[in-house]
Structure 1
Amino acid sequence: MSKSVSKNYIYNVSYQLLLLITPFITTPYLSRVLEPAGIGTYSYTYSIVSYFILLASLGVADYAQREIAYQQDNPHLQSRTFYEVNIIRTLLVGLSLCLYYLIISNFPGSHLIYWYQALNIVAVLFDISWFFQGLEEFGKIVLRNFIIKFASIILIFVLIHQPDDLNKYVCLIGMMNVLSGLSIWLYLPQYLVPVPRREIKPFRNFSIIIQMFLPQIAIQIYTVLDKTMIGVITGSPLENGYYEQAEKVVKLSLTIVTSLGTVMLPRIAYAYAHKDYETIKTNMMRSYRFVWFLTMPMFFGFIAISNNFVPWFFGPGYGKVVPLMQILSGLVIAIGLSNVTGIQYLLPTNQQNKLTMTVVCGAIVNFALNLFLIPMLQSIGAAIASLIAEITVTAVQFYMVRNIFSISQIFYSASRYFVSGIIMLTIIWLIGHTISPTIIHTFIIIGIGGILYFGLLFIFKDAMLLMAINKIQKKLH
């Protein structure tokens, strides 16, 4: 395989960031225009439609990406997989839309916002990014997303001006998601070859697709059910609004980490198909170290800057986002590590049953803690439950792979990043509490934090940092 992991990682980071860049850039504007109640209503209604998006997806994308990666050297099998997957997708989206209509029709009050949210179910049908991810052609995905997301940003500022524009905002986001999926189909003709109709059997591996769907159900419980339970238990769109904003910022940074999983999945799947187990082990240990390298400054950085960041970024009325961000910051480490074990190893090596078991454990913990903590602590309780659930998933996965990878070695590789992060946290925490919350001051704190963290790693002669510096120097010469 000649494709560069580092280049694909950069492409995929760009791709994932572009998927989230619209809400991130527009959040300061929307949080003021739609206000906490509007943000909370959007969060709650999207949490409802997410279950139907999950049904429409049914684990097909993960299965398809892995199969395409296995078949990188065989255009005929790639094309057959593409046709089979899209037949399944069409059936699932149709089923999901029918069920959504039947259930939402029985909801009390206005249904308009829910019908607009249904566009996100339709978008699943046209999203074929899995095909190009399996081929490790991430550049094409980035290009179309840049254009669509840039247009989204402009339209949000042009069309959304007051709290009553919430439905218009929901409709706009849904339509842009549909358009985003459609745009990549233009690249398909150069990759697909004719396949005889008798060879196309969409349900040939349906049992595997179901196996891959099971962990997604569990993941959904502790990523979306939180918002549903906050809305149902507290009855307050404000609490959902606070939680949505805090999670949005943390998950944006997490994208940089989890993007490695999307890139490494086809790489490890290819190595596994060719029984190259030594390459798998080497890549996995490198991935763990890379996660520590990135997540430690994010984790400590969120704790330190949230007091300075939240007031100017979200505007007045979002004070509760500060402790929520500080609690949820732990997700970057927990999800980063579980992404390496689950997505980069268990999934491409046909151990999805183990992955299912780990996320089911996390889902049970999360649901039980939500029932106990949300009535007492509201959105804070949901944040604590999410963090404990993700730690549970990571711990169970480590237990499962303890005979394959050295867990002590994984944690030992974090030592210098932890020390550098603690020193960084101490200094920028003190600085942050002596200056006012403004955009300039927040960037000053981030800049000082970055210089401290990477400066200490340079002093420690960290191999990961030195490798990155070496690659940059080669590019410049």
Structure 2
Amino acid sequence: MASIKRNIFYNILLTTSQIAFSLVSLPYISRVLGPFQLGRVSFVDSATQYFIITASLGIPIYGIREIAKVVGSPVALKKTFSELLLIQIITSAVLFCVYLVLVLCLDRFHAEERLFHLGLLQVLLSAFVTDWFFQGMENYAAVALRSFVMRLLSIAAILIFVKNEHDVYLYYTIWSGAVVLNMVISLSSSYSYINFKGLDLKRHLKPVMTFFSTRFVTSIYVILLSVFIGYLENKVYVAYFTSAYKIYTVSVTLILAFSSVLIPKLSAYHQANMHEESARLLSRNFNVIINFSLPIIAVMMFFAGPVIHILLGERFLPARADLLLLAPLVLVISISNVLSLNILTPVGKERDFLKATVYGMIFNLCIVFFLISAFRDVGASISLLATECLVCGLLYFYALPYLKNIQISLKTILLNFISCCICFGVVRLGFTYIAPAGNHLVAFIVQIGACGLVYLLVEVFITRNVLYRELYQLALKKIGR
């Protein structure tokens, strides 16, 4: 349990640095570059991330599980790591060639050739991202500290050198440079484990293709939404959607940090047939994500306007509708993440995860073009919300046989939901008449603080939420009462 707490700490450090990067860079970049230039970068980066995900073949998830299985055997550890790394190198080289052809041949891609050159570099070097190796060994400190430093340096460079909309290429150069440098350092840290002699790549092909297919299918209705908007509509709408999606991503990232560190431990529990320990850990995880997701959703929905205004500026206010639609995904994605990565993956049922995403992709493709054509960025948000709800429902169906011993209180969930709506809704409404004028940031901080305080008091003393009461008792101990 101590190792889990330590890993959660470092994973929270990792996600906090990501959140800090977004909270610092997004307001600055959205104002400096504006919707059109930011839309250009988002269009190119979405296509680039699509190819990077494809080149990884699902190894970032599969690799964690496989490394966790052999972590006690140095010979097997080197062999498994080298095999998966070699697969990544081969697929990255192939995808680099495909991406290069598209950039040279497609007019829409060729028009952004300078930006795509930076994307091509990311795809080529994506083979050397080995974070999954350290995560499989439960060494989250290496990943967290390296990523923290890289993001800190990139934030400083952006604030110093990017001054106006003409610096769009410089901005993406800094962004890509930080990503590439992170890749190089990641490889150098794991270089001593590489041994390309006596490898057996075939044994990984079937499970790797299953994980790859899942990530590939998911990317179609997530990352490619920005590409679809860019093709069907103006790139300004790409900026609206991607900016709202980034805010949603910041909101959900911290919650997912709790789930991702459990993959190695749950895989080990399954190997040792420790079902009670696994059920206890999963029950705790479900309780955490539900209790933390609902107030985050409430903030995104009741404060959509102020959040957009503070983080992005007045020119991005049309993205409010996107943020409102994406807010429920904080809970939906968190639950899907637990069902797929913490329940189905450790027991070897990743094919059920694939089936759920395939059905989701088919559903998304049936509605996405009509919705984007009719409602532009809002249509993309609607299609994503509907698709992820369908996938979550299917994952729940597939995971049902493994949920028997997991304790989830529907009464607690309902009370938490009602408490969120009342506390955040009533306090927000009350502050519309008395909120400080002039400074939007001050008004936002005061209102969020008031909402949070009222919500915590209700959860601890009225609904008597178990998790929040535990945190309250822990806080009392820390301050010596």
TM-score by length of 2: 0.93
Q: Choose the corresponding residue for 1:453, options 451, 455, 466.
A: 455
Is the 8 Å Cα contact of residues 37 and 237 (structure 1) preserved in structure 2?
A: yes
Is the 8 Å Cα contact of residues 11 and 138 (structure 1) preserved in structure 2?
A: yes
Q: 2:164 is matched with which residue?
A: 162
Is the 8 Å Cα contact of residues 309 and 439 (structure 1) preserved in structure 2?
A: no
Residue 103 of structure 1 and its aligned partner are, at CA, apart by 1.4
Is structure 2 residue 307 aligned with structure 1 residue 306?
no
The 3 A distance-change label for structure 1 pair 230 and 411 is farther
Aligned length: 472
The alignment's C-alpha RMSD in Å is 2.1
Residue type matched to 2:167 in 1? D
Is the 8 Å Cα contact of residues 64 and 133 (structure 2) preserved in structure 1?
A: yes
**1:9-408 equivalent positions in 2, closer than 5 A:** 9-108=8-107, 109-185=111-187, 187-188=189-190, 197-198=197-198, 200-234=199-233, 236-405=234-403
Tell me, what secondary structure is at the counterpart of 1:205? Answer: helix
Tell me, what secondary structure is at the counterpart of 1:223? Answer: coil
TM-score by length of 1: 0.93
* 1:200-237 deviation line (CA, Å, top 9, x unaligned): 22332111100111110121012112111111121x01
Distance 1:213 1:196 in 2: 23
Residue type matched to 1:396 in 2? L
Residue type matched to 2:135 in 1? Q
Is the 8 Å Cα contact of residues 305 and 445 (structure 1) preserved in structure 2?
A: no
Distance 1:188 1:408 in 2: 39
Residue type matched to 2:442 in 1? I
Residue 30 of structure 1 and its aligned partner are, at CA, apart by 0.6
* 1:320-343 deviation line (CA, Å, top 9, x unaligned): 111211111011011011011011
Residue type matched to 1:306 in 2? A
Q: 1:440 is matched with which residue?
A: 442
Distance 2:157 2:125 in 1: 19
Residue type matched to 2:26 in 1? T
Residue 371 of structure 1 and its aligned partner are, at CA, apart by 1.7
Residue 464 of structure 1 and its aligned partner are, at CA, apart by 1.3
Residue type matched to 2:365 in 1? F
Residue type matched to 1:455 in 2? L
Deviates more, 1:79-88 or 1:427-436: 427-436
Q: Report sequence identity in percent.
A: 22
* 1:138-191 deviation line (CA, Å, top 9, x unaligned): 1221111121111101100122112121122112111111111222445447xx
Residue 377 of structure 1 and its aligned partner are, at CA, apart by 1.1
Residue 46 of structure 1 and its aligned partner are, at CA, apart by 1.5
Is the 8 Å Cα contact of residues 45 and 117 (structure 1) preserved in structure 2?
A: yes
Residue type matched to 1:230 in 2? I
The 3 A distance-change label for structure 1 pair 188 and 424 is same
The 3 A distance-change label for structure 1 pair 417 and 10 is farther
Structure 2 unaligned residues grouped into runs of 5+: none
Is the 8 Å Cα contact of residues 79 and 193 (structure 1) preserved in structure 2?
A: yes
Tell me, what secondary structure is at the counterpart of 2:400? Answer: coil
Distance 1:341 1:410 in 2: 17
The 3 A distance-change label for structure 1 pair 412 and 160 is same
Distance 2:131 2:473 in 1: 32
Distance 1:209 1:71 in 2: 17
The 3 A distance-change label for structure 1 pair 45 and 372 is same
Tell me, what secondary structure is at the counterpart of 2:7? Answer: helix
